[in-house]
Amino acid sequence: MTEGSPSNGDRIHGTESNLDAYPPVRGTVYRATDTGRTYVGDGSDWIEIDAAEGGPSLGSEPFRSIRPPVRPGKTGFASVDHDLRSRLASYEGGYTKPVFHLTFDGGADNNHEFREVFEELGVTPTLALTPAAIGDDGKMTWDQVRELQREYGWRMSNHGHRHDRFDEIDPPEQEREIDEGIDALQREQVHHDHYMYSWGKSGGRDGRSIVASRYPFAWGTVHAPDADGIVDVDSPYELPRVLIEREEMAEIEAAIDRAIENETGMVFFGHNVTGGSLEDEDGFETSVEKIESIVEYVRERGGEWVDSLDEVLRYSATPVRLSAGREPVHVDDLEAGSITAETATTEKIGAMAYQSNPQTIEPDGSTTVSLDSTRFDHRGEFDDERDGITVTVGGTYELHGAVTVAEASAGAQVTLSIRRNDDVVARATAATPSDDGAVSTRAMTHAELEAGDRIEMALTHDSSDAIETDAGADSVSLAVLKLG
């Protein structure tokens, strides 16, 4: 924490209300730990850094504060800021140096014990928290977590509520592991961003899809100098972190050198911090001396430490490039995050289909929505005889469905479902106005799809009479957009 009058280049952590207590010295950075906003002094005023020259605008609400997600079966849109991915991927300029960040998993109380050491080093770590373990022997308390966040500017991530091995539990348990962690962090008023897989692996397609419906990014783990510890680094839901404990400094330095040579970012992770230079060779410990050596080596080689995972993604090369041990990885399809249903006509990734003529939806049962035309079709995925889109290349996809009903009886409930191989993956419901009339409903989700998966839409309603979709191509549309 910087005290007294700031000087150029200082970093200050404090509450939003305390911002005006500091003079806006040019180049000084102030992070409001209670709201997540960051400001830079220009000599006469504090400017929110997202609006400052040279940085992308990420909106007035800090995206690092995860909003309550829309759970499966609920109505409306998923609440994760998916457009964040496009802002990060399209960013140009900013840092010209490779960027580095340090993370610690598990919430060990020694992370808090050595908080002043990190302050003196000018490094602000991210903690991957297991909420159910907070307060246990050897773990931090919630008060200590909040102190690190609000007074020292540390960031927090969800590491799973109980730290169950994510790749070995079934999808309902994966959902509980994530959602109970989200609920606990929100209940304790701890802002957090991103997901860190417990035991480092994503749990395959199902696991990635569940995480994708709640977070814009997720991180696995890898042991330098190789990439054996991560399954698929071509996805924004399996980004790499490089282990520093039990690794020789020579190997870590070599990994840093490769990241700097390739002008890419790197995220490190450990667990416990110990004083001096002693470490348990078979344990989960990193000594202060080793951390100091890593921090110093990065700076000597021309790298730059940044304060959050968001900054790593923002200021790495575009699209996101990160180093995973021996080789850098390139998330080529991250740019697809800029695609929405409105811009899909110019972005040829995936497919978008729509109706040519209004359709009548009878009141009994679920009716598959007719899709007989395509706005674009990247790899021949649309089949006009089957009213849907069949994926030809596996990966992480964003699914958008939209339907406007021309007229329905007052108060009628209209439900739109997006289905993958006949299983509902997203659902949204809207009611017609009290005086009858048109009603629109949209559903959106992320899903991990495999080649051959079929995506279609269906409508149900509780009106006693048939309803009719509105005229026009945009009144009924389905977009399947590849992200990674």
- Looking at the fold, whether 20 and 79 belong to one and the same domain comes out as no
Residue 107 lies in a domain: yes
Element containing residue 324 per DSSP (H, E) = strand 321-324
Rounded to an integer, the average pLDDT of 341-351 is: 49
- Looking at the fold, whether 191 and 251 belong to one and the same domain comes out as yes
Rounded to an integer, the average pLDDT of 32-36 is: 67
Specify the residue for token string 């990420």.
58
Label residues 343-363 b or e (16+ Cβ within 10 Å = b).
ebeebebbbbbbbeeebebee
The domain that holds 158 is classified in CATH as 3.20.20.370
Strand segments, DSSP code E, in 153-301 are 155-158, 195-196, 218-219, 242-243, 266-270, 272-274, 285-287
- Residue 356's pLDDT band (cuts 50, 70, 90): confident
- Looking at the fold, whether 356 and 461 belong to one and the same domain comes out as yes
- Residue 446's pLDDT band (cuts 50, 70, 90): confident
- Choose the final residue of a domain: 331, 365, 381: 331
Q: Does pLDDT of 113 surpass 90?
A: yes
Q: How many CB atoms lie within 10 A of CB 478?
A: 27
- Residue 118's pLDDT band (cuts 50, 70, 90): very high
Sign of the C-alpha dihedral computed for residues 171, 172, 173 and 177 taken in this order: positive
Alpha-carbon distance 124 to 118, whole Å? 7
Give percent of the chain with pLDDT exceeding 70. 70
Which residues does 432 contact at the CB level (< 8 Å), separation at least 6?
Answer: 405, 407, 408, 409, 410, 411, 412, 414, 438, 439
Both tokens assigned to 448: 């991990």
Residue 26 lies in a domain: yes
Strand partners, 266: 100
Q: 272-274 and 29-32: which strand pairing?
A: unpaired
Residue 90 lies in a domain: yes
Residue 58 lies in a domain: no
- Looking at the fold, whether 72 and 25 belong to one and the same domain comes out as no
**Contact (Cβ atoms closer than 8 angstroms) between residue 160 and residue 166:** yes
157-190 pLDDT tens trace: 999 999 888 888 888 898 889 989 998 998 898 9
Residue 225 lies in domain: 63-331
Which SS3 state, helix, strand or coil, does residue 86 take? helix
Both tokens assigned to 397: 């996809």
Q: Does pLDDT of 290 surpass 90?
A: yes
pLDDT confidence of residue 166: 85
Both tokens assigned to 126: 């991210």
Alpha-carbon distance 478 to 369, whole Å? 10
- Looking at the fold, whether 259 and 355 belong to one and the same domain comes out as no
Which SS3 state, helix, strand or coil, does residue 268 take? strand
- Choose the final residue of a domain: 294, 309, 331: 331
Domain total for the chain? 3
- Looking at the fold, whether 383 and 282 belong to one and the same domain comes out as no
- Residue 5's pLDDT band (cuts 50, 70, 90): low
- List phi, psi (to 5°) of 206: -65, -45
pLDDT confidence of residue 92: 37
HEC secondary structure over 4-26:
CCCCCCCEEEECHHHHHHCCCCC
- Residue 128's pLDDT band (cuts 50, 70, 90): very high
pLDDT confidence of residue 339: 37
Mean pLDDT for all residues in the chain: 75
Which residues does 342 contact at the CB level (< 8 Å), separation at least 6?
Answer: none
Which residues does 368 contact at the CB level (< 8 Å), separation at least 6?
Answer: 387, 388, 456, 457, 458
Specify the residue for token string 């190789």.
226
Alpha-carbon distance 271 to 111, whole Å? 8
Specify the residue for token string 């500017």.
153
pLDDT confidence of residue 300: 94
Both tokens assigned to 377: 């079709």
pLDDT confidence of residue 251: 87
pLDDT confidence of residue 283: 65
Specify the residue for token string 């995860």.
66
Specify the residue for token string 């080789």.
327
- Residue 156's pLDDT band (cuts 50, 70, 90): very high
pLDDT confidence of residue 293: 96
- Residue 115's pLDDT band (cuts 50, 70, 90): very high
Residue 188 lies in a domain: yes
- List phi, psi (to 5°) of 384: -70, -15
Rounded to an integer, the average pLDDT of 18-33 is: 75
**Contact (Cβ atoms closer than 8 angstroms) between residue 383 and residue 453:** no
DSSP 95-158: --S-EEEEEEES-BHHHHHTHHHHHHHT---EEEE-GGGTTSTTB--HHHHHHHHHHH--EEEE
Residue 443 lies in a domain: yes
- Looking at the fold, whether 189 and 167 belong to one and the same domain comes out as yes
Q: Does pLDDT of 292 surpass 60?
A: yes
Which SS3 state, helix, strand or coil, does residue 281 take? coil
Alpha-carbon distance 275 to 288, whole Å? 5
Residue 36 lies in a domain: yes
Residue 112 lies in a domain: yes
- Looking at the fold, whether 112 and 173 belong to one and the same domain comes out as yes
Rounded to an integer, the average pLDDT of 15-40 is: 74
- Looking at the fold, whether 223 and 88 belong to one and the same domain comes out as yes
- Residue 84's pLDDT band (cuts 50, 70, 90): very low
Rounded to an integer, the average pLDDT of 315-340 is: 52
Q: What is the pTM of this model?
A: 0.57
- Residue 221's pLDDT band (cuts 50, 70, 90): confident
- Looking at the fold, whether 320 and 347 belong to one and the same domain comes out as no
More confidently predicted of 49 and 3? 49
pLDDT confidence of residue 51: 33
Rounded to an integer, the average pLDDT of 227-239 is: 54
pLDDT confidence of residue 342: 42
Collect contacts of 379-388 with beta carbons under 8 A, ≥24 apart: 379/351, 381/350, 381/351, 381/480, 382/351, 382/353, 384/353, 386/454, 386/456, 387/456, 388/353, 388/454, 388/455, 388/456, 388/457, 388/478
91-106 pLDDT tens trace: 333 344 688 999 999 9
- Residue 235's pLDDT band (cuts 50, 70, 90): low
- Looking at the fold, whether 258 and 399 belong to one and the same domain comes out as no
264-to-203, 261, 305, 331 alpha-carbon distances in Å: 27, 8, 13, 12
Helices 171-187 and 204-212: crossing angle in degrees, nearest 10, is: 30
- Choose the final residue of a domain: 53, 71, 86: 53
Alpha-carbon distance 310 to 28, whole Å? 20
Range in 185-194, 224-233, 289-298, 426-435 the model is least confident about: 224-233
Specify the residue for token string 């900054």.
311
363-409 pLDDT tens trace: 877 788 888 887 667 667 777 667 888 888 787 888 888 888 877 76
The domain that holds 344 is classified in CATH as 2.60.120.40
- Looking at the fold, whether 94 and 133 belong to one and the same domain comes out as yes
Both tokens assigned to 400: 């958008």
